[in-house]
Amino acid sequence: MTTPPSTARSSATRPSSTLPSSTAPRPAPWVRTRLRAAPLATLLGAALAFVAVLLAAALPRAQDRGADQALRSFLERSAAGNTSLQVTAPSPGTGQSAQALDATLEKLLGPTGSTFRVDPDKTIHGARTTKRQELLNPELSRPSGLPPSMNLLHVRQAEAHVKLAEGKWPSSSPTAPAQAAPGETAPLQVVLSQKAAATLGARVGSVLKIAARVDGTPSVEVVGLYAVLDETDDFWTDNLGCLARACEHFYNESLAWDVDALVGTGDLDRMANWSRTAEDFWQLPVDVGRLRADRLDATRKDIASYIAGPTAATLARETGRARLHTTSWLPERLEEARARTQAAAPLAAIGPAGVGGVAFVVLCLAGALAADRRDAELRLLLARGGSRAAIVGRLLGEGAVTVFPAAAAATALAVLLLPTPRLAPALLSATAVALLALLAFPVRAAVLLTPARPAGRWRRPVAELLVLIATVAAVVEVRRRGVAPPGSDLDPLLIAAPLLLALCGGLLLARLQPVITGWLARAAGRSSGLVGFLGLARAARGSGATGRTGPSVLPMIALLLAITTGGFGAAVLQSVDSSRLGVARLTVGGDAAISAYGKSPLPAGLAKSAGELPGVRTSVPLWIDHDSSLHGTTVRSSQVTVVVADPAAYAELSRVLGCGSFDPALLATAGASAADAPVPALFSASLAGQAVQGGTYTVQPGDGGELKVRVAGTIDCTPAHPARDAATVVLPTGAATDLMGGADHPNRWLGIGDVDGDRLRALVRSKLPAPSGTPAPAPAPIPGSGSAAGPAPLDEPYPVSTSAEAVTALGSDPLQRSAQRLFWASMAGAAGFALLAVLLTLMRAVPERAALLARLRTMGLRRRQGVALILAETLPQTLAATLGGALVAAAAVALLGPAIDLSTLVGAHVPNGVRLTAGPVLTQALGLAALVAAAVFVEAATTGRRQITNELRAGDQR
């Protein structure tokens, strides 16, 4: 206790008998003394808190960044009009002005900026006529005899996107009446695009007339021509009709031209005279780059209010336009984005949930081991008069000095490395982990210092029963509702189902492992060796300074949690990859495909050369006709796709692509049949439902002729047509090629194997005929081929597609990549924490183990036997956790897998379900087990010798 200065001065005059009390030492500061007494433990505690809090703060921010990026990418892939607000109102006609349009735009932008923002630099507004008028000039182009039609627009931003090529811009003042002939209305001044003028046959000075009306409808005069700077600009796409070029218009299969012309501000109030009605429009593009996934619901509500709600009513009143009308596809796009996010959220949460569970176990283990190490010190303080509350308070002070600075630094680093607008989830997660790291040791110490109570044998069984009940409830809910029920938010119980299964497996393993290890120890005791028996006996009893089973069980639970979540997540991702490859193969028709234009054949020798390329295992030349029809007693005239292929090669292709296996002999017998006998054929499942097995039908190709076929078998789908419900008839080469014109020359080639797309395209180019000055026709799209592999270049007469390219296109969604990156980062963290749990247990048992080995060394134990003893003591838990984790992961996939919808992660609609394969589960289990075993071996080989030497020199200090 510190003595005040006044007391110290007065004590100098007292008798010498009182001097010793004045020189009594002051008590040492508790926290500083304790931290200095164990600097290594202090640093390790701070490092553990830093890493745990860093992960806790980083994972929510990484999830937010991935969700925001996926949302913006999804919306950016939509057309510009799908992410804009389209506002229209009838034009007032007389008195219309550009200033009124601009003023209305300012009022329309007012309510934006809270949850969504409109990019003012990309807004488009103006006025337009609402009904096209036919141009009667006889000199204008009329491809099918129909006159062209025209709309008039005034676009405020048009001049920034075009360049005047000829003539002048329309006047900004009203057209002078003197320009009109007596008795006629002055024409409106307009400008046309050069391409539209060339298509119509109009030029500067042309006066374009429409049908005369009693109200003196004006004609238009072309006063200038402009050139569009960039036709791919969003300004011209789906927004402004036919301003950039003339558009084709078909009426009863007759072609006519549609064109649009720009009007100047001087004729704004006369535009309605052109088509009797006109409307003002404002296109407000929402700034997709500022949208946030966590505010989707609020954004949808604000946009809905803008379209038809309080905001819409306020805008109609403020602008003075009672018939102001707003439309947009954005609410539908946002709803699709929300559904995608909800579908992917549970799968993206598997990894963070796993690392969170393992980190929780490790922090509890660290607190338990610290309390175990200082048990004698704490009980001594309690025996000397310290209260339990005071001791726990001082332990909290120790922890606060190490945990809080480390947690603050980790949170700041996570915020700095992963910038995202939302801060609350990261702070809450970091605070929770920091409090756990702070309270783990004091709470464990409080439990140890609590007076002993009668042992309750019912507590552990009741706790295990509660965990079992929660696990069963979670599994039943997942099987009943699915991991991500449509339209629902993330359900913690459903996400925790794999962790609960792992916890049940850990609790069961904690009861079985000592028993099984004890049996092994007794079996080893019957042999002459001592190392195996002693190591297994210590493993069965539970290593540690005090022999308590709690700290020794926690590393096994941490390992089992890491292996289970890692194996389950890896199985999910493996199923995603395999499903994506299956979808890509069905889309392409194999691993590689070459298609011809229409029914024209492939170049001579191309199919044979393609089959000889490196990596091609199966080569299937095909002749395909999509315009055939099928006739029979049970099947009336129906359009079908006819495929002619070699039976053996096609059977292999069908088997690899999962379309069903069949015996090629069913089709190969056609060569031995009589000339007039029906050709055996395979019918697709949808067509076979109408046909009779063995029945005879007539196939009529699109180019004439007919062929009698009989039903020889059924296939689920055909690689030549990706739609599984497509009506398809597969015929063998031979009789079919003899009876169907053109079938002897394939128009498509499919291949299976590791085919290089660039090499295949080079082969196609080498087989092309020499150019004759006439460009090759553009290839027709493959019916039903989808767009997964991307469109073929227009200058490719024989498009090449590969499944690898289709897989890349399917997996290009940022939502998928974000979920995968988050999972693997979480699994790396979970593996690190599991390894740390094992090392903490090993380090805590070092003094006791060193003393044992020192005594055994004096009895003749060799160094190599000492390492073997350590491995025999520590590896049973690792092996048990590995086996148990692999089994629990397999059980999780079997129980929860059928309820998981992988369509969002695959990039295409696929049936629900995660397939159980041994590869991903065993890779996670054996990889983590090997990592832990290597760490145990290194620790035993490096630290055991030094500890044993110290014990032999100093003896047992305990």
Q: What is the pLDDT of residues 396-410, one digit of tens each?
A: 988 898 999 999 999
- Provide the pLDDT for residue 735: 67
Residue 77 parent element (H or E): none
CB–CB of 273/217 below 8 Å? yes
How high is the pLDDT of residue 789?
Answer: 40
Mean pLDDT, to the nearest integer, of 507-522? 84
Q: In the block, which residue shows the tokens 């690392």?
A: 355
Render pLDDT for 748-806 as a digit per residue (tens, 0 to 9).
899 998 888 888 988 888 887 755 444 444 333 333 333 334 444 445 678 888 988 88
How far apart CA 161 and CA 298 sit, in angstroms, is 35
What phi, psi does 467 have (nearest 5°)? -65, -40
CB-based contact 681:710 (threshold 8 Å):
yes
CA distances from 890 to 514, 566, 897, 902 (A): 23, 11, 10, 18
Q: Which two tokens stand for residue 17?
A: 């008998």
Task: Specify whether the CB–CB gap between 576 and 905 falls below 8 A.
Answer: yes
Is the confidence at residue 956, as pLDDT, over 70? no
The interaxial angle of helices 30-37 and 39-76, nearest 10 deg, is 90
- Cβ neighbour number for residue 106 with a 10 Å cutoff: 10
Angle at 630 between CA 626 and CA 633, to 5 degrees: 165
How many Cβ atoms sit within 10 Å of the Cβ of residue 469?
11
Query: 768: which DSSP letter?
Result: S
Minimal CA–CA distance to 156: which of 18, 280, 24? 280
Number of residues written out for the chain: 958
Q: Which of the residue ranges 633-637, 822-826, 908-912 would you say has the lowest mean pLDDT?
A: 633-637
Q: Using a CB cutoff of 8 Å and minimum separation of 24, what contacts does 894-899 make?
A: 895/475, 895/478, 895/479, 895/501, 896/475, 896/478, 896/479, 896/483, 896/497, 896/498, 896/501, 896/568, 897/571, 897/572, 897/575, 898/479, 899/478, 899/479, 899/481, 899/482, 899/483
pLDDT of amino acid 953: 58
Cα separations (Å) of 87 from 120, 160, 237, 541?
15, 22, 17, 77
Contact between 957 and 857 under an 8 Å Cβ cutoff? The reply is no
Give the chain's mean pLDDT. Answer: 80
Which amino acid is it at 274?
W
Task: Show the tokens assigned to 57.
Answer: 């703060």
pLDDT at 369 over 70: yes
pTM of the model: 0.78
For residue 95, give the nearest of 127, 53, 140 by alpha carbon: 127
259 sits in which H/E element: strand 254-263
What span, in angstroms and rounded, lies between the C-alpha atoms of 342 and 854?
59
Q: What are phi and psi of 457, to 5 degrees?
A: -75, -15
What distance in Å separates the CA atoms of residue 574 and residue 915, rounded to the nearest whole number? 8
Q: What is the pLDDT of residues 870-898, one digit of tens each?
A: 778 878 888 888 888 889 989 888 888 88
Sequence-separated (6 or more) residues with CB below 8 Å from residue 20: none
Instruction: Determine the pLDDT at residue 56.
Output: 93
